[in-house]
Amino acid sequence: MINFILNGLEVQAQEGSTILEACKFYGIEIPTLCYYEGLSPYGGCRLCLVEIGKGENSKLVSSCTYPVEEGLIVRTNTKRIVNARKMMIELLISIAPQSKTIQDLASKFHVTTVRFPVRHEDCVLCGRCVRMCKEQMQGGAIGFTARGNKKKIETPFNVRSEECRLCGGCIYVCPACQLRCQGPDAKTDLCSGCLSLEPTCIETHDDYQCWMGTTGDCGTCEGRPDQIKKQMPDDR
Amino acid sequence: MKQYRTHLLVCAGTGCVAAGSFEIKTALEKEIGRRKLQNEIAVISTGCNGFCERGPIVVVQPEGIFYQKLKKEDIPSLVEEHLLKGRPVKRLLYVPPAEARPVPKMMDIGFFKHQRLIVLKNRGRIDPENIEEYIAFEGYQALEKALTTMDPGEIVKEIKDAGLRGRGGAGFPTGLKWEICRKVPGNSKYVVCNADEGDPGAFMDRSILEADPHAVLEGMTIGARAIGATKGFIYVRTEYPLALKRIKIAIEQAEQYGLLGADILGTGFDFSIEVKRGAGAFVSGEETSLLAAIEGKIGIPKQRPPYPVHRGLWKKPTNINNVETWANVPHIILRGAKWYSEIGTEGSKGTKIFSLVGKINNTGLVEVPMGIAMKDIIYEIGGGIPNNKQIKAVQTGGPSGGCIPKRLLDLPIDYESLKQAGSMMGSGGMIVMDEDTCMVDVAKYFMNFLRDESCGKCLSCREGTQRIWEILDKITRGKGVPADIDLLEELAVATKDASMCGLGQTAANPVLSTLQYFKGEYEAHIKYKKCPAVVCKGIISSPCQHTCPIETEAPQYIAYIAHGQFEKAYDIILKDNPLLNVCARVCHHPCEAKCRAGQGGKPIAIRALKRAAIEYNSAKKRTHKRLKASGVKIAIIGSGPSGLMAAYDLAQKGYAPTIFEALPAAGGMLAIGIPDYRLPKKALVEDLDRVANAGVEIRTGQKLGKDFSIKDLFKQDYRAVYIAVGAHKSIKLGIPKEDSAGVVPAMEFLTKHSLGEKTAIGVRVGVIGGGNSAVDAARVAKRLPAVKEVTIIYRRTRNEMPAYAEEIEDALEEGINIQFLTAPTEIVTKDGRITGVRCTRMELGAVDESGRRRPLPIKGSDFLVELDTLISAISEQPDLSFLKKDHDFEISGWNTFVVNKETLATNVPGIFAGGDAIRGPSSVIDAMADGKKVAKAIDQYLRNGEIKFEYKVTRPSVYVEPAKLTVKETLESTRQDTKKLEVGKRKQNFNEVDLGLSKSGAICEAKRCLRCDLEVKDEDEKEQK
């Protein structure tokens, strides 16, 4: 067993486990996107960052890939982390605002503006599909090609794959494929709807409407960002 | 062994090869064969000499004579004159910039003299494809020592004690890394040499591999012994074919000689090296991605820990070091850690190789001891900045590094100092930037490189670099907003913090560094829509229009002239400028300094074309229609260019401006400071009339403080006052007896002369100073009938003289002596009248903060210049004697008004100031720009109470079709210079010297214009949320 310090607490974890696994065990919530239970960790989305070390030598690392070390000092919610995390979410929204997964992250972590021109792409390069196909479905039909801002996920040489068995595993795990309620032609880039703390539907209905499966249909969520700004204190 | 009397060492580094050194070698061999000298003279190709700017290079040993910029045609005379007759060919030798005499010997040349070669000691001396030459110069002796007399632990200790730090960029202590790797248990270990060298502009590693590959092999073998490795890899980027070729030859030869492979030197130690090629990615220079690439996987960084020293190639302990680091090892082993640690500074031992590139005279590769001042590399070795430009910054560390601004050039070069200054040592790229480099554009350039080279795994790096680039691009196109700077800083911090590998973690450095030191440039782009270096196309449109302080639409009037439409050209000029006759003669044309045709050619004669438009337009002279005066009175103090421009624009806007001029004649410096041979009275009067006809009242003989006060003005219902009194008071020389008879300040001399008053002037006149008033005073004096001799005494060199170059040329043509590097020390008098001035000779010492060499007196060089008149013209200040003792104005230490830079408002409401009165002696056009600005400011102030300007990018107001040239015209076009009055005809009169262009000459010159304004297309951009 490895002993280390997590948010000031002396904790233990099995050798070879990651900081993220240890945090899950101890109930400390860390946001993730590219991490998927059952698949190998990737460390690309940079949401699961934790701060290790202290003082001048401290740095941020992705907890999903960093192995626990004896005596390591780990903190999960420092100012650096909160700022970096918010920027990551803001960048994600600007790539794929139609994703419910990403919009929920934005609501949860109080990202209230998107200052970049929105691109409306359907892939955030989290790599879940690649790992799903290779590791879980033993297929290996898709992978990363090119690099930098031209990086893509596709089949080799972008031709129809003979390895692909059309299992749909890639779509199943894709965060960008889970659409937000207002669909691809949303009125606003930030919906701030589903995970906000004070749903407007309660004022007109007895029940919280989204549980009924008609997410957004009640129509009271429209124009939410302004209402959110009025109701929630500006904690930036 | 064959003995030769002379060796010709032909540089065959990639740079010289590209310039044709292989042909030079062939030509030499051929000529030497023809002259039957092949048994006396050897011709050898060596690796890079380092002075790449001057290739192709041949060094003649043993004399050490350095030939540069050779052409095939030079070879026969070189062989005949030097090799047969023993006379080095002067015209092929190196001449330092701004000097006249060549420096024949290599070791006397500044570039070489100040370097300290350790790693590069064999460069240019040996044939890198011949192992015996390496061995002859102490090659492989260190390996022998290490293998036969030291045990691995001792080798590691030696490297540790030497203090060698990784030369790849991060500077990790090499000995420590070796020690850690050595201690990891295991029989299978690797050493790797990182020769990926991806930084743009860096070619240190390439040069080492091309010039002295065995140094790297020897270092790696010693390292392998120390760590316990049996296999080594050299990862060379594919873009280095010559380096790849030479390292492979070196490995083969080393194996043949038993210095590599099995049982090295018979000691039983086995170690072999394999070469791996890169595949065109910057990120594979990062150690974990390099190792992945060697394993055959995709070059993407991995999280550390585990570090390669523990788990590297194929999960085995791997020690990876940079080429230069490995090349240092044999020297440390051979000469000892103590010797090595005495070179450099406390924290940074040894030497470092830098690729000195950019705006520098001596581009090339330099090896210097750590701790040398950046300034010494730039000036002593680099030879300073070409074309007399001002240095702005030095970029170190490649895309991961930052800029060191001009004011920090005293910085010692070592790991800590550079880091503290916000940059880093990096692998050794050093890019020098001058006043023509836009720092926002530099940040954008590096960002563009990084967003392409990012591996793309981490969101923070992939998107961070992309979004930072987008914002920088937006700013350089003139669409930036103030919030962009905060967003850039936030993004930069996030990219730095959240990325996994060194590329992402340092990606934001170019932006952060330029924001730290050059925030003003960002603000200029964003707020004022100006690019100070005149680079960003989307903002400047054409450099001439953008640089002009009043944004004269030069490309448009030039284009009209090219079509022969002089009237339309005239209208374009008049639209913004009522003082066109003045500007067409005396403007110092900053536009021509930035003209693109002038880069690699001669700039367009923009000022001369302006004059042509005036002279050859056949329509009657026009002025604007006069608007109905609103009766709101504005008072303007001073009828110089600033006051005139302000009054004209205010009249256009419907105000009733009155100019109060202290002297009996209007025009300010235009009338009294600029003599007739530069600006004829007729031309000035025409412009003055134009201003008056626009509705401006000019009252001469009205001196502020004597005939009226500012309080009076406000009482008389003037609603605002613009103080444009200029800088008319000559500064005192500060030497004894300068109040003697015969010593006269330049402004007094020039004013009296222009007003037709008698000036007491003798026969031998001296002028102290180097600015325009000094040269003007000298040229006026020379024309006076009594004067026989005129001498200008200036303390610096001609290059540094602030007067306009054309003026200096004319003065010399007219027979005026200029004593450069001379300073006055004492005035000699007899009976209270000057008889001469004692001077001392100066020499240029070290470079000071301004980037200029400071002149220092040479002891014992005193001499006397006999004169009967001395004109002091070292500088001028505004004459503020009109201010009451209890005035409220804020005045600077130079006696100028302190104003709000944007609005020209002084601290007293309703009173503005501009021109030389706020700037000290400056130019006509800058004063006019102030006049334009203040007219807008006063207008807003009176309408709205507050002044808020809206700034726009530079664009022409009208599209003019480009002129079509025939092929013949294009090939034959050269700059048309204006005709000048012969020197003989200038004696004792004040006739205009510059006679302008002919009509056909003007059209010819106008057709040379490259029409930079046509390159900028404004697309309609969709509104983005």
* pLDDT of res. A216: 55
In 3D space, the residue among B75, B66, B61, B90 whose CA is nearest the CA of residue B28 turns out to be: B75
Probe site for chain A from B463, B490, B500 (most A CB atoms < 10 A)? B463
CA atoms of B11 and B17, how far apart (whole Å): 8
Residue predicted with more confidence, A104 or A152: A152
* pLDDT of res. A223: 47
| Helix axes B519-526 and B509-517, enclosed angle (nearest 10) | 90
* pLDDT of res. A198: 61
Residue A233: pLDDT over 70: no
Token readout for A178 is 């889970």
CA atoms of A231 and A225, how far apart (whole Å): 10
Residue A212: pLDDT over 60: no
How many CB contacts within 8 angstroms connect chain A with chain B? Answer: 98
Interface of A with B in 199-228 (CB under 8 A): none
- A124 touches B: beta carbon within 8 Å: yes
B452 contacts A92? CB cut-off 8 A: no
CB B503 within 8 Å of CB B461 = yes
Among candidates A59, A67, A87 on the partner chain, residue whose Cβ is nearest the Cβ of B491:
A87
B462 contacts A148? CB cut-off 8 A: yes
Residues in chain B within 8 Å Cβ distance of A189: 1025
pTM comes to: 0.89
- A57 touches B: beta carbon within 8 Å: no
Kindly indicate whether the ipTM for this predicted assembly is greater than 0.95, answering yes or no: no
Residues in chain B within 8 Å Cβ distance of A147: 281, 283, 453-456
Pairing of the two strands B869-872 and B743-745: parallel
How far apart are the CA of A59 and the nearest CA of chain B, in angstroms?
7
Token readout for B275 is 């070469």
Residues in chain A within 8 Å Cβ distance of B486: none
Among candidates A46, A62, A148 on the partner chain, residue whose Cβ is nearest the Cβ of B451:
A148
* pLDDT of res. B332: 96
How far apart are the CA of B1025 and the nearest CA of chain A, in angstroms?
6
- Residue B814: exposure state from Cβ atoms within 10 A (0-12, 13-18, ≥19): middle
Among candidates A65, A117, A124 on the partner chain, residue whose Cβ is nearest the Cβ of B303:
A65
C-alpha distances out from residue B833 to B152, B190, B743, B764, B869, Å:
85, 87, 8, 13, 9
Residues in chain B within 8 Å Cβ distance of A42: 457
Residues in chain B within 8 Å Cβ distance of A95: 463
pLDDT tens digits for B826-877? 999 998 889 999 999 998 887 776 667 788 899 888 999 999 899 999 989 9
Chain B positions with Cβ closer than 8 Å to A: 281, 283, 298, 303, 305, 451-460, 462-467, 470, 483, 487, 490-491, 493-494, 497-500, 1024-1025
* pLDDT of res. B578: 94
* pLDDT of res. B737: 84
* pLDDT of res. B818: 94
- Residue B917: exposure state from Cβ atoms within 10 A (0-12, 13-18, ≥19): buried
A117 contacts B1025? CB cut-off 8 A: yes
B466 contacts A88? CB cut-off 8 A: no
B459 contacts A46? CB cut-off 8 A: yes
C-alpha distances out from residue B133 to A158, B117, B128, B213, Å:
53, 18, 8, 12
Amino acid at site B755:
L
* pLDDT of res. B253: 97
How far apart are the CA of A203 and the nearest CA of chain B, in angstroms?
30
- A98 touches B: beta carbon within 8 Å: no
In 3D space, the residue among A122, A132, A125 whose CA is nearest the CA of residue A169 turns out to be: A132
A148 contacts B454? CB cut-off 8 A: yes
Among candidates A46, A148, A151 on the partner chain, residue whose Cβ is nearest the Cβ of B498:
A46
Question: Residue B351 forms beta bridges with which residues?
Answer: B369
- A132 touches B: beta carbon within 8 Å: no
C-alpha distances out from residue A1 to A66, A75, B101, Å:
16, 20, 77
How far apart are the CA of B504 and the nearest CA of chain A, in angstroms?
11
Element (H, E) at B25: helix B21-34
B493 contacts A148? CB cut-off 8 A: no
DSSP readout, chain A? -EEEEETTEEEEE-TT-BHHHHHHHTT-----SS--TTS-----S--SEEEES-GGG-EEEETTTPBP-TT-EEESS-HHHHHHHHHHHHHHHHH-TTBHHHHHHHHHTT-----S-----S-----HHHHIIIIISS----EEES-GGG-EEESGGG---SS-----HHHHH-STTSB-TT-TT-SSS----TT-SS-THHHH-SS-GGGGT-TTTTSTTTTHHHHHHHHS----
Residues in chain B within 8 Å Cβ distance of A87: 460, 490-491, 494, 498
- A62 touches B: beta carbon within 8 Å: yes
A60 contacts B497? CB cut-off 8 A: yes
Nearest CA in chain A to B494: A84
Among candidates A91, A118, A148 on the partner chain, residue whose Cβ is nearest the Cβ of B459:
A91
Q: Which residues of chain B have pLDDT under 50?
A: 1021-1025
Task: Please provide residue A143's backbone torsions phi and psi, each rounded to the nearest 5 degrees.
Answer: -160, 180
Residue A228: pLDDT over 50: no
Among candidates B283, B451, B460 on the partner chain, residue whose Cβ is nearest the Cβ of A46:
B460
Among candidates A44, A67, A117 on the partner chain, residue whose Cβ is nearest the Cβ of B458:
A44
* pLDDT of res. B623: 57
Pairing of the two strands A9-13 and B994-996: unpaired
Q: How many CB atoms lie within 10 A of CB B112?
A: 23
How far apart are the CA of A95 and the nearest CA of chain B, in angstroms?
9
* pLDDT of res. B629: 60
Helix ranges, B637-771 (H) = 641-652, 669-672, 681-693, 710-715, 746-754
A147 contacts B453? CB cut-off 8 A: yes
- A87 touches B: beta carbon within 8 Å: yes
- A71 touches B: beta carbon within 8 Å: no
How far apart are the CA of B672 and the nearest CA of chain A, in angstroms?
57
Nearest CA in chain B to A43: B458
Nearest CA in chain A to B453: A148
Probe site for chain B from A30, A34, A46 (most B CB atoms < 10 A)? A46
Nearest CA in chain A to B483: A115
Among candidates A44, A84, A91 on the partner chain, residue whose Cβ is nearest the Cβ of B467:
A91
How far apart are the CA of A43 and the nearest CA of chain B, in angstroms?
7
Residues in chain B within 8 Å Cβ distance of A125: 456, 459, 462
Torsion of CA B483, B487, B490, B492, to 10 degrees: -130
Residues in chain A within 8 Å Cβ distance of B452: 148-150
CA atoms of B133 and B750, how far apart (whole Å): 71
